[in-house]
Amino acid sequence: MKRKTILALAGLAVLACSKKKDDALTIPLEAITRQTILVQAEATGVVEPINVIEVKSKSSGQIVAMPVETGTLVKPGDLIVQLDTRDTRNAYAQAKADLDAANVNLRVSKQGIDRADELYKERIITAVEREAAQVSYANAQATVLRNRAALDIRAQGLEEATVRAPVAGTVIEKPVALGQVITSGTNAANGGTTIIRMADLGKVRVRTLVNETDIGKVRAGLTAIVVVDAFPDRPFTGTVEKIEPQATIQQSVTMFPVLVSIDNQARLLLPGMNGEVSIQVDRRDNVLAVPNDAVRSPNEVAAVAPLLGLDPDSVRAQLRNQGNGQRVGTTQGQSPADTGSSRGELASTAAVQGAGQRSGFNLPEVTDKQCEAVTAAMAKHPEVQKKIADLRTRMMSGELDRQAMQAELQKIYAAIGLDAGVASACNFRQRAAGGGAAAAGGTAGAGGTSAAGRGQGGRRGMVFVSKDGKYSPRMVRLGVSNFDYSEVLSGLQEGEQVAILNVAAMQAKQASDMNQVRSRAGVPGMQRQPTTGGAAGAGAGAGGAGTRGGAAGGAQR
């Protein structure tokens, strides 16, 4: 029985070794190349016409002719609706007859006044009779003018019974039909009946909602690419027309309407179409690019280093050496002499300022005398500068966060009789005035940006470079980025191979899951013994270490 147990344990060890070989991670590599990085703000939108015109009739009546339909392309002056003109024609005829009668009355009145003048000269009629003839002539003139105006109104009503297109465009809606009685748009209390809605579809716009996190990058005049479902292989190029100031909240997300105008001379885009809008907010041509899957924060050393078979403490030491050897954020190709003067002067003041302001720390008002005292104190204690430099490199490697670094800086300044806030304020004032060196002993900002770094901008990242089968950590400075790649400002050279860490993490997760499955399943042919108390090593292994852990536990017993 004991011999069988030994053979089973030996077989288990062989199985564990074979599984160990199978569990070896295959980490893909990708070379650093030059690419065009396009940063886009993406959203969905709906096509809509820019200018919609509602056509109404100034006259009321029944529709007897309507040659247009929805989608009809009309030109200015084309017939839209013809109304029944019997009433307007009769009214016109009546007004014309009234005008003719008034003209005859005017001629008779003119003859009457001429006779009255002659008779008055011969003293046959009195002045009163002559004045009556003059009044009659004036009334005849007024009647002619009134009837002439009435005739013009009736003629206009007869003309308005024919409705024509005011501008060129496409009929997008027709709410009335042939035979329907419509009301005038000028006389009716409700504004009249809308005959058609038309718009010029030669130029349309897309109304899209952009998330508030991206709206700060969007501005009028940027190029936008619109892809609609009807033409998935034909993108349409447009221009951001404007950003509406009133936000819209959808499912607790704040969105801002953005209008993108598109030339649509081909009439392919129709109102109501849905499309994907990509607004090009930034573009970098022919720049070094690193895959985003290869970049990690320096704070993730403890989680990432074991995936590559590296010791986290060793990785942190290498990152500290890189921070001491060259300022992170200097431009590629810059000599160490350009940054060496700042290496031992990594001041705390800008770090307290940068980190403190972001966390709500307010810098005090300082005087010239206070800043002179800070400069003198730093000059008397050069060892403080080395402590500050060590703190900064520890923060860059992920050992310290900004709050912890701020607390340490306050202790260091307190030891030499300085207030961290005063030193930060003096440094900030000196840099704002254009000084190359900070007030606190010529220090540069401990927030990770020297004068060159501030001009260059960017953010810090950590990658692992592969060479001859070995991985080495590298601090890099990154610029703009999209979903796939980030611009490399410094830290990497073209052609270098970097590890794709996302794949490594997924492989490690799969291996861990397989180990848990094997641990639960046990070894075929052997019955797993239940574990109680401290005897967990014989079963699933401590902490879910899998079959190998269980075998090791049983062997030790």
Nearby residues of 58 by Cβ (< 8 Å), 6 or more positions away: 160, 184, 185, 186
Interval 405-434 mean pLDDT: 73
More confident of the two residues 307 and 14 = 307
Structural domain that includes position 316: 295-499
Domain-embedded: residue 177: yes
Q: Six-digit token pair at 252?
A: 């607790």
Q: Following CA atoms 218, 224, 229, 230 in sequence, which dihedral angle do they give, to the nearest 10 degrees?
A: 150
Do 228 and 352 reside in the same domain of the chain?
no
Interval 208-220 mean pLDDT: 90
Q: CATH number, domain at 268?
A: 2.40.30.170
Do 176 and 192 reside in the same domain of the chain?
yes
Q: Collapse the DSSP code of 464 into the 3-class scheme (helix H, G, I; strand E, B; otherwise coil) and give the result.
A: strand
Residue 67 has pLDDT above 90, yes or no: yes
Long-range contact set of residues 12-20: C-beta below 8 Å, sequence gap at least 24: 12/523, 12/526, 12/547, 12/551, 13/551, 15/523, 15/547, 16/547, 16/548, 16/551, 19/518, 19/547, 19/548, 20/548
Residue 279 has a pLDDT of: 93
Provide the 10 A C-beta neighbour count for residue 406.
23
Of 251, 283, 315, which residue constitutes the final position of a domain? 283
Interval 119-123 mean pLDDT: 86
Do 336 and 399 reside in the same domain of the chain?
yes
**Count of the separate structural domains present in the chain:** 4
Of 499, 518, 544, which residue constitutes the final position of a domain? 499
Confidence of residue 289 (pLDDT cuts 50, 70, 90): very high
Do 310 and 442 reside in the same domain of the chain?
yes
Residue 152 has a pLDDT of: 93
Do 220 and 245 reside in the same domain of the chain?
yes
Residue 543 has pLDDT above 80, yes or no: no
How far apart are alpha carbons 426 and 430 in whole angstroms?
A: 6
Q: Burial code of 99-110, b = ≥16 C-beta within 10 A, e = fewer?
A: beebeebbeebe
Confidence of residue 507 (pLDDT cuts 50, 70, 90): low
Of 419, 402, 401, 397, give the one whose Cα is nearest residue 410: 419
Domain-embedded: residue 247: yes
Domain-embedded: residue 539: no
Of 177, 199, 221, which residue constitutes the final position of a domain? 199
Q: What is the mean pLDDT of the chain?
A: 76
Q: CATH number, domain at 193?
A: 2.40.50.100
The tens digit of pLDDT for each residue in 125-162 reads 888 888 888 898 999 999 999 999 999 999 988 888 89
Residue 94 has pLDDT above 80, yes or no: yes
- Label each residue of 334-391 as H, E or C: CCHHHHHHHHCCECCHHHHHHHHHHCCCCCCCCCHHHHHHHHHHHHHCHHHHHHHHHH
Residue 375 has pLDDT above 90, yes or no: no
Interval 418-431 mean pLDDT: 72
Confidence of residue 225 (pLDDT cuts 50, 70, 90): very high
The tens digit of pLDDT for each residue in 98-109 reads 999 999 999 988
Do 315 and 213 reside in the same domain of the chain?
no
Nearby residues of 402 by Cβ (< 8 Å), 6 or more positions away: 351, 354, 355, 358, 359, 395
Measured CA to CA in angstroms, residue 534 lies from 9, 521, 542, 553 at distances of 21, 21, 10, 11
Q: 204 φ, ψ to 5°?
A: -120, 175
Do 239 and 152 reside in the same domain of the chain?
no
Interval 49-60 mean pLDDT: 89
- Diameter of the chain by CA atoms? 166
More confident of the two residues 266 and 535 = 266
Nearby residues of 459 by Cβ (< 8 Å), 6 or more positions away: 477, 478
Confidence of residue 510 (pLDDT cuts 50, 70, 90): low
Interval 353-364 mean pLDDT: 44
Q: CATH number, domain at 153?
A: 1.10.287.470
Interval 454-464 mean pLDDT: 70
8 A C-beta contact, residue 106 and residue 144: yes
More confident of the two residues 416 and 445 = 416
Domain-embedded: residue 46: no
Domain-embedded: residue 512: no
Do 324 and 194 reside in the same domain of the chain?
no
More confident of the two residues 368 and 531 = 368
Residue 164 has a pLDDT of: 92
Residue 46 has a pLDDT of: 94
Residue 347 has pLDDT above 80, yes or no: no
Do 245 and 165 reside in the same domain of the chain?
no
Domain-embedded: residue 443: yes
Confidence of residue 318 (pLDDT cuts 50, 70, 90): confident
Nearby residues of 99 by Cβ (< 8 Å), 6 or more positions away: 144, 147, 148, 150, 151
Domain-embedded: residue 449: yes
Which H helix or E strand runs over 157?
helix 127-160
Which H helix or E strand runs over 163?
strand 162-164
Residue 443 has pLDDT above 60, yes or no: no
Do 346 and 466 reside in the same domain of the chain?
yes
Residue 418 has pLDDT above 90, yes or no: no
Confidence of residue 427 (pLDDT cuts 50, 70, 90): low
Q: 472 φ, ψ to 5°?
A: -135, 135
pTM more than 0.85: no
Amino acid at 554: G
Domain-embedded: residue 535: no
CB half-sphere exposure, 171, CA atoms < 13 A? 25
Do 62 and 175 reside in the same domain of the chain?
yes
Do 361 and 300 reside in the same domain of the chain?
yes
